[in-house]
Structure 1
Amino acid sequence: MSLKKSLLLISIILIIDQLSKVYIKTHFVLGESVDVLSWFKILFIENSGAAWGAKLSDFLPISESIGKLILTVFRLFAVAGIGYWLYDTIQKNSSRTLILAVSLIFAGALGNIIDSVFYGILFNDSTGQVATLFSNEPYGSLFYGKVVDMLYFPMINTTWPEWVPYLGGNSFRFFEPVFNIADTAISTGVGILLVFNKKAFGKKEEMTRPSEED
């Protein structure tokens, strides 16, 4: 997989990811949902923390704002590291599977870091109102944006039988997390590395060179 093809894939994912997020921000109130199918909903939520909404302040004796800043800076370094990994795999003519996977992970990580870095100064608050892009009253500041999530697949929504120890009578929903296109790209890339590990990290592909004319 060439650098041009990798950049094209990354660009397509970023465009779809950001367009979907901007649309949701400018058309939905926070918490609003629309049923697409019985097992698929568009549900607008915002995530100011790490995966599953976790925050550093939940685990460390620091303020929520400091924890958010640390997390955003960490994401920036992570994106830079993944970008270098991608560049290195392409330069070394690594397997197409590996380049594809890293391209997906990089695109997803970059998509979410755009939210974390810039959305706080681009949009106003979505609580109780539809947000405005390039608002004069942004909800945050640089590095304090919230990641927009909207894809929700509650394929199973039921209650645990009473006879089940500890869980009996409690509600059970699968799949619970709400995510976005960027998250999907990251998960797909990681899945490719796990399932096709040998193919991804196998021998390098032979570089084909056009024959030179005398």
Structure 2
Amino acid sequence: MPRRTQAQRRAATIAKLVEATIEAIAEVGYHNASLGEISRRAGVSKGGIFRHFDSRTDLVVAAAEEVGRRHMQAFDNLRQRENNDRPLDLTHILHRGRNRIREETNAVWFELLVAARTEPELRARLAPVARALIDDVESVAIAALTPLVPAEVARLLATSMAHMFDGEAIFRVTYPRPELEDARIEYIAEVFRQLTGASTGVETSS
């Protein structure tokens, strides 16, 4: 195997640190994801961390950006509807969105958003990352739901569902209600069908 370049080694180390940060926050929480914990998981010394990131906050924000990137990658096939002659399967889209929000790595977002409430620096750094993620979610919804509904309605539906699923994902840890959660999706899809006159049959494969 050819020797890796310095840039390749640097990229690999950064990737290990970001992955270790995601795992640490998801498993032990934001406040327990110390540089020592991250260093141990990544197999990189603390000094090695500071060769790539100026602070723990920089590393945490990089982890948040990566979680957002993975989150949206799962929805790439919804950006452009492949079979416009087939009815929209809103139920499928909602289930898929909820499942993504319940992914363990997405717990990183919940941890950071709560921490940002009382940490001004983290809040300021996360604000553009969160804005970019929500903008991306809304663009997916607009691509998937127009022209059945106006773009503004698609945007409102996307953010409303995202916030609802966020709340479900957090609350179900202590009080899971799967029957109610599934019925909620079916009800929303049925209301959408009645409002738009659209069928809820299968649109595209996942």
Q: TM-score range by the shorter chain?
A: under 0.3
Larger helix proportion of the pair: 2
- The structure with the largest alpha-carbon Rg is 1
Larger strand proportion of the pair: 1
Structure 1 length-normalised TM: 0.23
